[in-house]
Amino acid sequence: MNFKGEQPMGFALFTSAAAAMAAKDALQNLMFDYETNSVLRAEMAKKNLFVKRGVTGTGAVAQAFDQSKRLRTAGNYTPSHYAPPGAYGAPTPASWVPQSYVPPGAPYDPYASYSMPSLQPVARPVVTPVAPAGYMPMQNIKDNPPCNTLFVGNLGENTSETELRGIFSGQPGFRQMKVLRQGRSTVCFIEFADLNSAIAVHNNLQGAIVTSSDRGGMRLQYSKNPFGRKRESVNNQDGGAPGVPGVTTSETTTEPSSSP
């Protein structure tokens, strides 16, 4: 290899430790330069990336700081502002780094207005109160019941299919993707192997920025018509009788052959 000791490196912040580990495994040993046979090596960082959101509004570019450097330079550092690390697993006290910094009076929750009553209590990543780099706040007003296929909206007309594929094809459970051009906007369908994979991506990549799109973050919804699911006739065993579906009261129960 050409590099000796001085190798380029980078850090990426994920919405949850689980998501970070999934990405790490997905990208591990990925060959990113076929000419030099350069292979990507991914590790969990020793410290969490501290991300500060720009103050100027929607177009502001997020800036990332090394948490350790920030701790060194921070003036009045009040640990009382830090919340317990929630679902990140019990960290050893020695290596514990404050995870959820809540700016006093300015809590920021990109998923604040998002609620899905029909969602089953599946493990959702703890929402980071500060937007990660590369994400935009995204309102997801109307959504469909969770299924294994995601609908991607808020994509500009010249959104690169290659970029979308790069974003989604590495996600756990990814099956296939279809891009649909609709005049001045683009939509995209992604099928996953199972419901949980779709839910994870729906939550983790909500509002993620697609560079080739000119509309900021993408909107992730569950598809109305999942991949490969034909509209199947539901269990209608009552022969299509209108009104009350076959309610069986104790009085009307018929014995098969009570007569001689």
By the criterion CB under 7 A, which residues form the site for DNA?
Answer: 139, 141, 144, 149, 151, 153-154, 178, 180, 182, 185, 187, 189, 191, 219, 221-231
Q: Do 225 and 176 contact (CB within 8 A), yes or no?
A: no
Give the residue with the Cβ less far from DNA, 171 or 223: 223
CB of 7 to DNA, least distance (A): 40
Give the residue with the Cβ less far from DNA, 24 or 215: 215
| Spatial CA neighbour of 117 closest among 139, 138, 137, 144 | 144
Q: How far apart are CA 62 and CA 203, in angstroms?
A: 20
Give the residue with the Cβ less far from DNA, 16 or 204: 204
Planar angle of CA 50, 17, 137, nearest 5 degrees = 60
152 Ramachandran zone, left/alpha/beta (phi>0; psi -120 to 50)? beta
CB of 207 to DNA, least distance (A): 11
Give the residue with the Cβ less far from DNA, 80 or 115: 115
CB of 150 to DNA, least distance (A): 9
CB of 188 to DNA, least distance (A): 9
Where helices occur in the chain by DSSP H, the ranges are 17-27, 67-73, 161-168, 195-204
Q: How far apart are CA 126 and CA 83, in angstroms?
A: 12
Give the residue with the Cβ less far from DNA, 23 or 187: 187
CB of 147 to DNA, least distance (A): 9
